[in-house]
Amino acid sequence: MDLSSWMFIFVMSAGCGMACMIIARSKGYRGTAILGWLAAGLIFSIFGLIAVILTSHGVEATPVASATCPYCGALLPSDASLCPRCGANPARVG
Ligand SMILES: [Zn+2]
């Protein structure tokens, strides 16, 4: 392959890495996971990009489902410090 082909591959990898990072961010990944997806895009190029598009990261996307009052079982809003139903102050993990 000549130089322009290598340049094309380099630009594709860099672009896919950046796109992976942006998509991973929008899917709720944070911190080192973002850098992991950047690396995946740089190494695997378009395949890393396809992987991040197909993957689902629902842990931080649905915070309401995991936050329930331990006393009465009511769903707690993500910004609530007191249970809206029983008024308890649940020790919320995560
Ligand atoms: Zn409650």
Whole-number Å distance, alpha carbon 60 to ligand 1 midpoint, is: 22
pLDDT at 59: 55
| Mean of pLDDT values over 34-56 | 92
SS3 per residue for the chain: CCHHHHHHHHHHHHHHHHHHHHHHHHCCCCCHHHHHHHHHHHHHCHHHHHHHHHCCCCCCCCHHHHCECCCCCCECCCCCCCCCCCCCCCCCCC
Whole-number Å distance, alpha carbon 85 to ligand 1 midpoint, is: 5
pLDDT at 81: 80
Q: Is the pLDDT of residue 65 over 70?
A: no
Single pTM value for the model: 0.56
If pLDDT is split at 50, 70 and 90, which confidence band does 18 have? very high
Whole-number Å distance, alpha carbon 49 to ligand 1 midpoint, is: 43
If pLDDT is split at 50, 70 and 90, which confidence band does 5 have? very high
Q: Is the pLDDT of residue 1 over 60?
A: yes
Whole-number Å distance, alpha carbon 5 to ligand 1 midpoint, is: 62
Whole-number Å distance, alpha carbon 44 to ligand 1 midpoint, is: 48
